[in-house]
Amino acid sequence: GAGVSQSPSNKVTEKGKDVELRCDPISGHTALYWYRQSLGQGLEFLIYFQGNSAPDKSGLPSDRFSAERTGGSVSTLTIQRTQQEDSAVYLCASSLALSRGLETQYFGPGTRLLVL
């Protein structure tokens, strides 16, 4: 079946502008995660959603970052007033659930964000 998809694949924006990044998880996956990967670095957790529960926002680096997940499926990560240090690849992942045996995360191709 279809894997995790993300759009756009690349985004170039000017400092101070807002951007929206989209993630379509695998159908039927109840858990959705956002990570950030700076050039040559590891993956940094940002936020996750599990079903209808309140999201875990503990990884968001500042209040300029927010995310929502509508209808338990598609998610949008919004970065307001972008800064150059926001330049990175933003990766989305989904898993069936958080329960033991269902927690394997599958990643999307990422959105490469460049803030000029």
Partner 1 sequence: GENVEQHPSTLSVQEGDSAVIKCTYSDSASNYFPWYKQELGKRPQLIIDIRSNVGEKKDQRIAVTLNKTAKHFSLHITETQPEDSAVYFCAALDTGRRALTFGSGTRLQVQP
**Residue numbers of the site for partner 1 (CB under 8 A)?**
31, 33, 35, 41-45, 48, 50, 56, 58-59, 91, 98, 100-101, 103-110
Q: How far apart are CA 114 and CA 116, in angstroms?
A: 6
* Residue placing its CB nearer to partner 1 in the complex, 33 or 65: 33
Q: Report residue 8: phi and psi, to 5°.
A: -75, 170
* Residue placing its CB nearer to partner 1 in the complex, 19 or 90: 90
Task: Report the nearest approach of partner 1 to the CB of residue 67 (Å).
Answer: 13
Task: Report the nearest approach of partner 1 to the CB of residue 107 (Å).
Answer: 4
* Residue placing its CB nearer to partner 1 in the complex, 79 or 89: 89
DSSP string, 53-87: SPPB-TT--STTEEEEESTTS-EEEEE-S--GGG-
